[in-house]
Amino acid sequence: MVRAEDRLSFVYVERAVIHREHNAVTATDERGTIHIPAASLGALLLGPGTTVSHQAMVVLAECGSTVVWVGERGVRYYAHGRSLARSSRLLEAQARAFANQSSRLRVARAMYCMRFPDEDVRTFTMQQLRGREGARVRQVYRQEARRTGVKWDRRDYDPDEFEASDAINMALSAAHTCLYGIVHAVIVALGCSPGLGFVHTGHIRSFVYDIADLYKAEVSIPAAFNVVAAGPVDIAAETRHAVRDAVFDGSILKQCTRDLHTLLLPDDRDDEMSELNVVRLWDGAERSVAAGVDYG
């Protein structure tokens, strides 16, 4: 098996038929057929208009590649096949950190440290962290309003009625939704749980909201203000296109992957372990023993 760090991070395909030819995956559209080396592919992102065959899914599974069904250019998450990781190390690390109050606070502080690189927040309480984050986000909104000339009052929206907001709030809602889809795709590809959040809690996508907050100031907020400043005809569609273009180079996927490892396994960045296809038996406490052994 090719190590995760040596694989193509992802391939995005839309409006094509995905099939298998020998041990390669093929993508065919009106322009012809290309071959995708399944054994060295991290994740295959299937966009609108794609059809995938049973045999293509078989070879991707055998090669340890994950498949994620997404919106145009990956800006929405719909479903996924299997995790790219064969080890449960990241998932177990997430669960351990989530279940303990001190470690949960450590991860939450680490998330805020990523947003405040010049400020020491290691001793802040959750209440203090929320206050700093609120002030930071308000400042970002004001800066973007000055940069683009878009009138800004406050974040005001109804999650059940998209068009009840003003133009900039509609654009922000659409942009954030796109970012949530991108982050969700990375989280499930690495085998983590979208529901075990450290700042957000009680929702099936709590961890998605946690991680997406790391990138809003650089991705979704500027995209929303740019769209509104240009006088959009269709705010939702044009905002999705703007986010799509902002993440087209794939750097957000790589950054998100690195950040997840840093948050959950800060002292262990060995990607080889995530590729090990090993099952062990729990032996109590932090111990484990080999499986497939007759202990009778």
Prediction pTM value: 0.73
Cβ(18)–Cβ(38) below 8 Å: no
pLDDT at 167 over 70: yes
Q: What single letter denotes the amino acid at residue 266? A: P
> Checking phi first, is residue 185 left (phi over 0); if not, alpha (psi -120 to 50) or beta?
alpha
* 18 against 4, higher pLDDT: 18
What tens digit of pLDDT does each residue of 203-249 get? 999 999 999 999 999 999 999 999 999 998 998 889 988 988 888 77
What tens digit of pLDDT does each residue of 79-136 get? 777 666 667 889 999 999 999 999 999 999 999 988 887 888 878 888 998 898 888 8
H and E: helices and strands count for the chain: 9, 10
Three-class SS of residue 84? coil
pLDDT, position 122? 78
Give the whole-angstrom CA distance, residue 275 versus residue 84: 8
* 283 against 200, higher pLDDT: 200
pLDDT at 48 over 50: yes
pLDDT, position 51? 93
pLDDT, position 44? 83
pLDDT at 198 over 80: yes
Element (H, E) at 143: helix 126-148
Cβ(192)–Cβ(91) below 8 Å: yes
